[in-house]
Chain A
Amino acid sequence: MAGLTETPSQSQSPNHPWTSAQSRAQFAALAQLRWSIFRNAFRRKGGTGELIARILIFPFLGLIAIFPILGAGVGAYVLVSTDRLAMFYAITWGVFLLWQLVVLNISAPGLSFDINTIIRFPISFPRYLLARLFFGLLSAANVIGTLAIIAADIGIGVAKPSLVPWATLVLIVFALANIFFTRMAITWVERWLSTRRASEIFTALIIFGSLGFQYINLTFNPAFHHGHQASKLPLLIKIFNRIRPVANLLPPGLAATSIVSSAQGRHFTAIASLLGLAAFGCLFLAVYAWRMHREFRGENLSQVSHQPAATRIPAPQRISGLPSATTQPTRSPFSLSPTLSACLRKELLYLRRNTNQLYGFIAPVFMVFLFATRMGASGTGGSLVFPAAVAYSLLGVSILSYNGLGMDGPGVQFYFISPTRLRDVFLAKNLIGFLLSLVEFFLIFGVLVLSTRTPSPLIALATLCWLLFATFTNGAIGNLRSLSAPKKINLSKISRQQTSQLSALIALGVVLACFGIGFAIVLLCLHLHRPWLMIPVLLALALAAFLFYIRVLNRLDVIALNHREAIAEELCKT
């Protein structure tokens, strides 16, 4: 082997002092690593599709993000130019809440390796800390939050240019404090999430928090009501005034106080608030660094949940003679095959233990309830409210069928080593999905009956037919995507992705396309003055979708066999 017997150069010797060039080389290597991971993610099988999905989704997300960013800029301009500085807290608190909301709802680009493993290299703690801060810096939350802060700064600058230098300084410190806060919070929360129980509790908290946020948004946002609800605004202002003394002492409050005080010529308060804000930033960084130091010293989070009971010496027993494996399958009382009933039982257990899945089920019904009560109170709501609500609810449920094997993880190997037909496995998964869709259908029907008005029997029946059509179509395409683009779901991560980007986009497209087809049929039938015609037409579509679904279902075993290596590689990775 050439070179192995050569005398190493001094700079390569472990005894030689560490140089700054070597440190720079480490950072360069880490940056190269990050880039390679990003690039290689698109080189994998299905990577091109993922890239296309990202390109298509980014403008969509950008469109969603542009409103709060513009809101921060315009809001800052209006408040400063009209001298309503007392309301400036709304901007900083809004940006802070937006930042946290994005952290919870948009997953960070996944790393294919554990960044913690770099501790095996000769890296000092400060450099390790910097590396940890560097990885994940360009998350959606940081980008959107920072853009909102820049927009607010521009708004201030346009309204009152003399305020720009101080406001820029304060907002930079505010942005850093937010970045450190989210990193600190995520790291500590994920440390708690390493235990299953904590993970479930945290998910439940997120569910209630998100639903509560939607309730507040719909209750107090003027965009959702027409004046008569404005009486609730004083209540919100009253609550805000009650908590204001405490809120002023927190980072968003301190940032606002500093800018407002500077504008009003109270320089001491402005400086003191800025120092307070910087102190918070340092505190967040210190707590984050403390956590990182624990990991740097080798704490392995996976060991938190792995506390095996003391090994007991097995009793001197024997397993009674296991008969030969030629047991004939028996039918269950409900004439389901034993395989199918076993799969159904397993899927029900998984559903019960998957709070995230339950959230996808509950949230649409809750949102329909909120909107329906608003519409009921205002007397609005047309005949298409029910179909639209059902289509909306289908989005939450249908996405689950696009990564049917994701929750199974390494267990997926069992399907290939046992006498199991993937057809039965997917049928069980789909049956649970269909059942959830049907339950949502009746729940939404009940909500609308109680809050607005009962949908006409024709519309209700047509919607049911449409639901069958959309469900079977989604089930068939979802099953195919589950096999061609499986994605392991990591339950111990915040904002875990339920499916690949492309699959999510396809799911959205399929539901929208189904809704478009249904809507066109309804319009056509109404135009022809034969509204009853929509029932047989939609039933025919449902039948066609069912046949397509059965055809796909019967081919799943062959498709799965062709994809088994890719499936195992993705779902069994550690």
Chain B
Amino acid sequence: MVPAVTTTGLTRRFGEFTAVQDVNLTVAPGQFFGFLGPNGAGKSTTIKMLTGLLAPTSGSIQILGLDAATNPIEVKRQIGVVPEGLALFGRLTAAEYLHFVGRMYGLDAATTAARTTELLDFMSLAGETKKLITDFSHGMQKKLALAAAVIHGPRILFLDEPFEGVDAIASGTLKAMLQGMIARGATIFLTSHVLEIVERLCTHIAIIDRGHLIANGSLEELRAGVQARNPEGNGNNQILTLEQIFLSIVGGDPAIAPPEQELSWLG
């Protein structure tokens, strides 16, 4: 089966600084893939490269078997993206924006109109017919960005911090929608700082730290790896949470670990 996403030697440098170094990653179709890492680890840079917002310095990206560099248009037709900046046009209404996006993805007018209505209803945005996007709250903008990302029925969905700034009710709606997509065979690639959400939703997880991929596998595989590395630490057979796994893998890094010295002048 052709992998949904494959990266080979993916590297991105900004001058002297290497943000992502030689990342080799494979995401199988139908996976709910969580991409984690501490601040500045290279998550957003990686997702930007995967979605065409940033050119890799070296390495290659294959989406559904297509090379992203040589087939950018075909690749983009297969993916949906909620980028960091949300990519919204502030001077349009939600319906106008979705109509625009649908047409840009090649949907016919009738399908676009039907899906626009359906998505606005689903996202509880149907009542905001006259309001421009610029006047939306952050949570509403996020829901609209997600609606725009799925209007063409993408086979892979890339989400950069989709739950940030979204209230509990909207968060529940989004989760239900994403799980529905997975059930229908789509692949989701997600970055988030909320480890509880990642643990609940994702079947596979990769962790990046200082530009290097340092862990990759199913939650069970990561858990087994941590337990194998530290058998005494789990003597009571308690199931490790993703937070514990994450801290065990990344927290061992002296750059991440809390300093031994205290800030004595604080308080």
The interface of chain A, by Cβ under 8 A from chain B, is 1, 4-8, 195-196, 305-309, 311-315, 317-330, 338-339, 341-343, 345-346, 349-350, 353-354, 407-414, 416-421, 561, 564-565, 568, 572
Whether A411 and B89, one on each chain, are in contact in the complex, defined by CB atoms closer than 8 angstroms, is yes
Contacts A339-B103, A350-B91 given; does A323 touch B153 at CB 8 Å: yes
Closest A residue by C-beta to B90: A409
Task: Produce 1/0 per residue, B136-163, CB < 8 A to A.
Answer: 1111100000001011111100000000
Nearest CB in chain B: distance from A268 CB, A: 55
Is B182 interfacial (CB 8 A cutoff)?
no
User: In the complex, what residues of B have CB within 8 A of residue A5's CB?
Assistant: 261-262, 264
Binding site for A on B (CB under 8 A): 51-55, 72-74, 76-81, 83, 85-92, 96, 99-101, 103-108, 111, 115, 118-119, 121-124, 127-128, 132, 134-140, 148, 150-155, 167, 169-170, 173, 177, 180-181, 184, 259, 261-265
Cα of A195 to Cα of B130 in the assembled complex, Å: 14
A311 touches B89 (CB 8 A): no
* A338: chain B residues within 8 A (beta carbon): 103-104, 106-108
Whether B106 contacts A419 by the Cβ 8 Å rule is yes
Which chain A positions have C-beta within 8 A of B79? 325, 417
A/B interface sample: 21 pairs, CB < 8 A: A306-B136, A306-B137, A306-B138, A308-B136, A311-B170, A319-B180, A322-B152, A322-B153, A325-B152, A327-B77, A327-B153, A349-B91, A408-B89, A414-B88, A416-B52, A418-B105, A419-B72, A419-B73, A419-B77, A419-B105, A564-B55
A354/B91 in contact, CB under 8 A:
yes
Q: Is the Cβ of A325 less than 8 Å from the Cβ of B78?
A: yes
A438 to B95, CA, bound (A): 31
Interchain CB contact under 8 A, B119 and A319:
yes
> By the criterion CB–CB under 8 Å, are A417 and B106 in contact?
no
A321 to B177, CA, bound (A): 11
Q: Is the CB of A327 within 8 A of B152?
A: yes
CB of B103 within 8 A of CB of A341, answer yes
Q: Assess the B137–A329 pair: CB atoms within 8 A.
A: no
- Given A4-B261, A4-B264, A322-B153, A353 and B53 contact (CB-CB distance below 8 Å): no
Contact yes or no, B135 A305, CB < 8 A: yes
Shortest B114–chain A CB gap in Å is 9
Contacts of A322 in B (CB 8 A): 115, 150-153, 181, 184
Task: Output the least CB separation between A570 and chain B (Å).
Answer: 12
By the criterion CB–CB under 8 Å, are B54 and A564 in contact? yes
Q: Are A417 and B76 in contact (CB under 8 A)?
A: yes
Asked if A410 contacts B86 (CB within 8 A), the reply is: yes
> Contacting B89 at CB < 8 Å: which of A312, A414, A420?
A414
CA separation between A7 and B106, bound complex, in Å?
Answer: 66
Please measure, in the bound complex, the distance between the C-alpha atom of A420 and the C-alpha atom of B169, giving whole angstroms.
33
- Give A318 to B86 CA distance when docked, in angstroms: 24
B77 and A325 contact, CB distance less than 8 A: yes
Question: Given the complex of chains A and B, what is the CA–CA distance between A461 and B80 in angstroms?
Answer: 49
Query: Bound state CA distance, A304 and B78, in angstroms?
Result: 39
Determine the residue in chain B with the shortest Cβ distance to A573. B85
Is there contact, CB below 8 Å, between B154 and A349? Answer: no
Q: Which residue of A lies closest to B167 (CB)?
A: A311
The minimal Cβ–Cβ distance linking A303 to chain B, given in whole angstroms, is: 9
A419 touches B139 (CB 8 A): no
Write the nearest CB–CB distance from B108 to chain A, whole angstroms. 5
- Please indicate the chain B residues that have their CB under 8 angstroms from the CB of A418 in the complex: 76, 101, 104-105
Contact partner of A308 (CB less than 8 A), chosen from B81, B139, B151, is: B139
- Residue with the highest number of chain B CB atoms closer than 10 Å, among A320, A414, A561: A414
A339 in complex: contacting residue of B80, B90, B104, B123, CB < 8 Å: B104
